[in-house]
Amino acid sequence: MPRDRLPPHLRDRPFVVAEARQAEVGEGRLRGPDLVAPHHGLRVPVAVRETDVVTRARAFAPLTRPAWSFSHVTALALWGLPLPLRLRRPEAPLHVASTHGHGPRRPGVVGHRWHGPPGQDRVVPWAGLRVVDPVTAWRQAAPWLTLDEIVTVADALAGRWSPYEGARDVPVTVLSSAVERAHGSRGAAALRAALPLVCARVESPKETELRLMLGRAGLPEREVNVRTYDDRGRYLGKPDLRWPELLVCAEYEGDEHRVDIRRYRTDIARRERFTDAGWRMVRVTEDDLHGIAREALLARFHRLLCS
């Protein structure tokens, strides 16, 4: 059956098979090459099928029940919070929690039974979807994250990374309350260990990674994203990390610093300002956070800060 025989109201969105049958769409049409079946009883037009978590959650939404909500790492992704690549891949499962009975049991979906205390953990609307609130998602996701990844999400919550109002500028006291509610659950120990490491001033996941790496190396305490001026009051910039008494600062530079011509030129001008003012700026890339380059970077910081 050609695509133009699919009813117009089903052509550009996911739909359940029962809805199509009600519109008198036959079984053969539901097996057409322009439709995919990511879940049993669901069809998604190829033209609108994508692999990002938002699209996959929207595709699954027609199958959800009133007691279900997107949760755990899926909720973190929907709230625009940082996750490691392994949890963002197209094949990564969706996490769905149920407040009554078991969650869904389907391929590609991890179902959870949710026992959150009434009035504390919340389900909130998110662009037409039911999603647990960001702090609850952080608490729920702890078993799927490493300690540093838990800190990275917490830094984002306490800072201003997320484009969504409810997932930024979260007081650390709110995170602390969530950790208390996690007592006795999986991931509770990791959440307790992460809480003292949270910093609201960090502005990117790699800044968190660099900050934690330097702290564990026994280097002196650093300041994070502080506006910096020279002796005559001229503004130099806001380095990721700085040690003002030693006139040393550090900047993490991802690939966007290289491919964005305006940012590339701005970075050069800023470094020259710091150099003219007597500062030593250490520029850090992804390679510096791993392997032999990591050890060389730590040795460089030890020379600059501890000698």
**Please, what is the average pLDDT of the chain?**
87
Cα(134)–Cα(218) distance, integer angstroms: 32
In this structure, the answer to whether residues 64 and 188 fall within a common structural domain is: yes
Q: Are residues 217 and 295 in the same domain?
A: yes
Q: Quick one: 143 and 236 in the same domain?
A: no
How much is the pLDDT for 27?
75
Q: What percent of the chain has pLDDT over 90?
A: 58
Identify the three-state secondary structure at position 174: helix
Are both 29 and 126 inside the same structural domain? no
Same domain, 130 and 190: yes
Shared domain check, 42 and 57: no
Verify that 21 and 147 share a domain, yes or no.
no
Instruction: State yes or no: pLDDT of 172 exceeds 60.
Output: yes
Contact 247, 214 (CB under 8 A): no
Q: How many separate domains does the chain show?
A: 3
Report pTM: 0.81
Output the pLDDT for position 1: 40
225 lies in the same domain as 262: yes
- Structural tokens at position 122: 């919340």
Q: What is the pLDDT of residue 102?
A: 77
Residue 88 — very low, low, confident or very high, per pLDDT cuts 50/70/90?
Answer: confident
pLDDT, position 184 = 87
Residue 94 predicted with pLDDT over 80: yes
CATH code, domain carrying 219:
3.40.960.10
Q: Say yes or no: 139 and 187 in one domain.
A: yes
- Using pLDDT thresholds of 50, 70 and 90, give the confidence band for residue 293: very high
Which pLDDT value is given to residue 294? 95
Q: Same domain for 279 and 193?
A: no
What ranges in the chain are assigned the alpha helix state H?
17-22, 27-30, 53-60, 72-78, 134-141, 147-158, 172-181, 188-194, 205-216, 256-259, 261-276, 291-306
- Of 179, 197, 215, the position where a domain reaches its end is 197
Which pLDDT band, with edges at 50, 70 and 90, does 5 fall under?
low
| Mean pLDDT of all residues in 3-16 | 65
Q: What is the DSSP string of 245-261?
A: GGTEEEEE--THHHH-H
Do 214 and 247 fall into the same domain? yes
Among 138, 169, 197, the domain boundary falls at: 197
In the DSSP assignment, the letter for residue 169 is S
How many CA atoms lie within 13 Å of 67's alpha carbon, on the beta-carbon side? Answer: 13
Check pLDDT > 60 for residue 76.
Answer: yes
Q: Model confidence over 113-171: pLDDT tens digits?
A: 876 555 555 888 888 889 999 999 999 999 999 999 999 999 999 998 888 888 999 99
* Residues forming beta bridges with residue 95, ordered by sequence position: 110
pLDDT at 245: 96
- What type of residue is 133? D
pLDDT score of 16 more than 90: no
What is d(CA 213, CA 206) in angstroms, rounded to the nearest whole number?
10
Sheet holding 15-16, edge to edge: 15-16, 42-45, 35-36
Residues 120 and 132: beta-carbon distance below 8 Å? no
Task: Specify whether 89 is located in the same domain as 16.
Answer: no
pLDDT tens readout for residues 195-225: 999 999 999 999 999 999 999 999 998 999 9
Containing structural domain, residue 236: 205-306
Q: Final residue of a domain: which of 181, 197, 213? A: 197
Give the tens place of pLDDT for each residue, 101-116.
777 888 889 999 876 5
Q: Could you tell me the maximum CA-CA distance found in the chain, to the nearest angstrom?
A: 79
